[in-house]
Amino acid sequence: MVDAFTHQPVLVAECVSSLRLREDALIVDATVGGGGHAAAILERTGPHGRLIGLDQDANAVAAAGERLARFGDRVQLFQHSFRHLETLLEEQGIEAVDGVLLDLGVSSHQLDTTERGFRFAAESADTTPLDMRMDQRSEVTAADLLRDASEEELRHWFRAYADLRGASRLARRIVSERRRAPLRSSADLLAVIESSRVGGGRRHHPATRVFQALRIALNDELGALEDGLEAAIGSLRAGGRVVVLAYHSAEDRIVKRRFRDEERGCTCPPEFPVCACGRSVRLRLLMRRPVRPEPDEVARNPRSRSARLRAAERLAEAA
Ligand SMILES: C[S@@+](CC[C@H](N)C(=O)[O-])C[C@H]1O[C@@H](n2cnc3c(N)ncnc32)[C@H](O)[C@@H]1O
């Protein structure tokens, strides 16, 4: 039995309706987590409907396995990154799927499991390691990143992923502190953050934002998203749908831009007599503006507050 997996899935009805599930649909839940969205998808498909669930976190795969056991062989789960979805499908002998769901970021279970180090918890900061690996098979932790990253890299992450005022000051301070002693625990990092007097953002403590920035950098979440979108779009049959839930503005920008480019096709300048980029129109957008949770969902599940859902349909290849 895995620890109780406490993650409330976000915008479930909207994800399910955007996927436009057929009775016998084959859907990939590329971020299966605790299996909340996956269960809703399997409940709404018939006895021949199947789901392939991926997560790079071994605990999530185990929790989803328990939660989805009642669906028997309609479910297959893999500890795998969605970056490599196409390879996985190829290995399984699957040419195309009817839908792909990407519910990005971390689960509440990951955030709330203190020893994973995804967020700082004042009461246990001294003993919480700076880990933050989503895939426990990876060898590099956040402590390693803080030891090895250049001052410029640190500054860039704190600016781009945390929108932090004082990003340069914090980056400089980390570099000088780590010369004296390595930063190993949440408390070590917290002390540097507090002494750097960083700020920005009304909703979250600066440490929450710094931890988030390090997590995004360590797990290369934006690079994985670029690759994952390509893999998801490439895996869809004509008429298949891709649905993405983003929680960070940098993620949502990537999704929005990618969908727009896929809707536009050729990106050659108008003066080119023939297309040189070779891009065709692959997607039709299902909505112009992202869907956001209603206030009652946010009241029930405050972590849904920043969610933005975008969805698109794969078009047939032009002849
Ligand atoms: C918001 S949670 C998903 C929750 C899930 N929809 C549910 O209903 O329980 C995001 C999950 O995506 C996983 N994840 C993040 N990046 C991933 C990647 N590149 N490949 C596979 N899984 C990833 C995380 O480990 C986490 O379990």
Average pLDDT over residues 183-194: 92
Give the CATH architecture of domain 12-109+221-314. 3-Layer(aba) Sandwich (3.40)
Asked if 221 and 161 count as a contact pair (C-beta separation under 8 A), the reply is no
pLDDT band at 7 (very low <50, low <70, confident <90, very high): confident
And the tokens for 315?
């078009």
Atom index in ligand 1 nearest the CA of residue 54 equals: 21
Q: What is the pTM of this model?
A: 0.94
And the tokens for 67?
């939660």
pLDDT band at 1 (very low <50, low <70, confident <90, very high): very low
Residue 244: helix, strand or coil by DSSP? strand
Average pLDDT over residues 145-150: 97
- CATH number listed for the domain at residues 136-218: 1.10.150.170
Q: Give CB contacts under 8 A, 24+ apart, made by 69-74.
A: 71/39, 71/42, 74/42, 74/45, 74/47, 74/49, 74/50
Domain with CATH 3.40.50.150 in the chain: 12-109+221-314
Residue with CA nearest ligand 1 atom 27: 33
Distance from the alpha carbon of residue 77 to the mean position of ligand 1, in angstroms: 13
And the tokens for 102?
């990407």
pLDDT band at 205 (very low <50, low <70, confident <90, very high): confident
Nearest-angstrom CA–CA distance, 82 and 102: 9
pLDDT tens-digit readout, 73-100: 999 999 999 999 999 999 999 999 999 9
Q: What are the b/e assignments for 185-201, b being 16+ CB within 10 Å?
A: bbbbbbebbeebebeee
pLDDT tens-digit readout, 281-303: 999 999 999 999 999 999 999 99
pLDDT at res. 200: 63
Q: Which of 107, 220, 247 to mutate to test the pocket of ligand 1 (most atoms within 8 A of CB)?
A: 107
Q: What angle do CA 212, 123, 303 make, to 5 degrees?
A: 40
Domain with CATH 1.10.150.170 in the chain: 136-218
Q: Cβ(53) to ligand 1 under 6 A? A: no
pLDDT band at 252 (very low <50, low <70, confident <90, very high): very high
Q: Cβ(37) to ligand 1 under 6 A? A: yes
Residue 287: helix, strand or coil by DSSP? coil
Nearest-angstrom CA–CA distance, 305 and 10: 9
